[in-house]
Copies of this chain bind each other. A is one copy, B any other.
Amino acid sequence: MQKKYLTIYDDLVDKIKAGIWPVNTLLPSENDLTNRYETSRETIRKALNLLSQNGYIQKVRGKGSIVLDAHKFSFPVSGIVSYKELTKQLNITSNTIVQELSYMETPSALQELVNIEGNVWRAVRIREIDGEKIILDKDYFSEMHVPFPTKEICEDSIYQYIEEELGLTIGFAQKEIVVEEPTKEDYELLSLEGFSNIVVIKSHVYLDDTSLFQYTESRHRPDKFRFIDFARRI
Contact = CB atoms under 8 A, between A and B. Distances in A.
A196 B222 CA distance: 11
A225 to B, nearest CB: 6
B66 A210 contact: yes
Contacts of A199: 179
- Stoichiometry, as copies per complex, reads 2
A60 interface: yes
A79 B2 CA distance: 32
A138 to B, nearest CB: 19
Contacts of A225: 177-179
25 contacts: A24-B210, A55-B174, A58-B172, A58-B209, A66-B209, A66-B210, A72-B174, A79-B231, A79-B233, A80-B233, A170-B233, A172-B232, A173-B230, A173-B231, A174-B228, A176-B226, A176-B227, A177-B177, A177-B227, A177-B229, A179-B197, A179-B222, A179-B223, A179-B225, A196-B197
Interface of A: 24, 55, 58, 60, 66, 68, 72-73, 78-80, 169-179, 196-197, 199, 204, 206, 208-210, 222-223, 225-233
